[in-house]
Amino acid sequence: MATKMLTEFECDFCRYVGEQRRGSAVKNRRCQPYGQPAGDLLQIDANAAAAEYAVHLALQVPWRPLKKTLHDEHRDVSGVEVRSTLKRHGCLIVHDRDCDSAPFILVTGEMPSLRIVGWLYGRECKRPEFWRTDVRTPAYFVPQSELRSMEEW
């Protein structure tokens, strides 16, 4: 598990990316694919950008923060899907329509302190025991204990 402490400049940049993404979503009338999340959408978008940025730093791979579409062929960070949650013990959430062959990395925390917890391929996340229907949008919720460590990356 790697903790990334972002600088004030890096946090400001991630907030800018979040603002641009939110503005693009509103302008293009792009709805949230799994319903409107609870909370401040600008903060959610900024923290998601920060999670991607932390993975970019940790893996030392390219990141296109202002890509054209929500899910393009390059994924979030150089072929990797990044999922984030503010909850320290939160799960890696994967949906049926997510790519089976893509690696998914879980990042927890809030700017400036983010933890890169671990990863699995989409197909490995889609196990019946991880499926939950007791939530607003049913999905696979993979506990942190089931993730591969970043050392295995």
Read off the pTM: 0.89
pLDDT tens sequence across 20-76: 988 887 787 766 656 656 568 889 999 999 999 999 999 999 998 887 554 555 578
Evaluate whether 92 touches 153 at the Cβ level (below 8 Å).
no
Cβ partners under 8 Å of residue 77, min gap 6: 52, 55, 56, 59, 61, 62, 63
Evaluate whether 82 touches 107 at the Cβ level (below 8 Å).
yes
Domain that holds residue 22: 2-152
Specify the number of domains making up the chain. Answer: 1
